[in-house]
């Protein structure tokens, strides 16, 4: 696969990684790299990125609705109270990735999320403060230039792990930062690069 942005039949130039898959292209065009400020949505994306470890993202993306159904729409308040019976049911749910460590990690991370929500201004503010509240806009021309992790993702990884979050290694955290728009890693020739930059909005202006 080409490592440079590519022109598609619809006349738009995109990053190469979604290929010609309409489902993946829609995710690339409408979600990946768009700044996300919702506390719960950020928790969900962090958990799903953790489930991706060792797998391809498209595998997780295609199962996302199954994950949402299995994990009560990723409501941390509910997940934090999961008991052994619920964990057993999840381990038998063929619609998700049945990895006990990751499922148990989701519960541990929910408890850590709730602690942050109780102690301070929220999970979103906690995360976005690492980038001073605004996306870091990169200027990569090929995917070969895009790092798997950065000093900042290493720092955030250590902070999250120290608070009890699971499956938050530097590479997972960087993928999370890309997905949630904390960094804009659309290639410079991709039409989304400029669109995501313009789409930035202050979390203070977020609709309630």
Token pair listed for 128: 């976005």
Nearest-angstrom CA–CA distance, 84 and 75: 18
Q: Positive or negative CA dihedral for 125, 182, 40, 44? A: negative
Is 88 annotated among the ligand-binding residues? no
Is 196 annotated among the ligand-binding residues? no
Half-sphere exposure of residue 157: CA atoms within 13 angstroms, side-chain side: 18
Phi, psi of 63, rounded to the nearest 5 degrees: -100, 0
List the one residue out of 89, 88, 91, 72 whose CA is nearest residue 80. 72
Is 15 annotated among the ligand-binding residues? yes
Are 28 and 15 in contact by the 8 Å Cβ rule? The answer is yes
Is 192 annotated among the ligand-binding residues? no
Are 173 and 149 in contact by the 8 Å Cβ rule? The answer is yes
Known binding residues are 15, 28, 186, 190
Known binding residues for Zn(2+) are 15, 28, 186, 190
């Amino acid at each position: 696969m080409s490592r440079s942005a590519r022109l598609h039949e619809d006349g738009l130039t995109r990053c190469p990684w979604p290929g010609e898959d309409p489902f993946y292209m829609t995710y690339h065009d409408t979600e990946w790299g768009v700044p996300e400020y919702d506390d719960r949505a950020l928790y969900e994306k962090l958990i799903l990125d953790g489930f991706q470890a060792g797998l391809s993202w498209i595998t997780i993306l295609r199962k996302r609705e199954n994950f949402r159904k299995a994990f009560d729409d990723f409501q941390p308040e509910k997940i934090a109270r999961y008991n052994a019976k619920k964990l057993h049911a999840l381990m038998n749910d063929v619609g998700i990735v049945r990895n006990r460590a990751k499922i148990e990690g989701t519960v541990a991370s929910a408890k850590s999320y709730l602690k942050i929500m109780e102690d301070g201004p929220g999970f979103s503010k906690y995360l976005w403060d690492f980038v001073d509240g605004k996306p870091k806009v990169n200027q990569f021309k090929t995917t070969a230039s895009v790092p798997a992790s950065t000093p900042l993702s290493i720092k955030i990884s250590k902070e999250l792990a120290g608070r009890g979050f699971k499956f938050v290694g530097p590479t997972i955290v960087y993928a999370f930062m890309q997905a949630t728009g904390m960094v804009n890693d659309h290639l410079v020739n991709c039409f989304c690069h400029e669109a995501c930059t313009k789409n930035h909005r202050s979390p203070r202006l977020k609709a309630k």
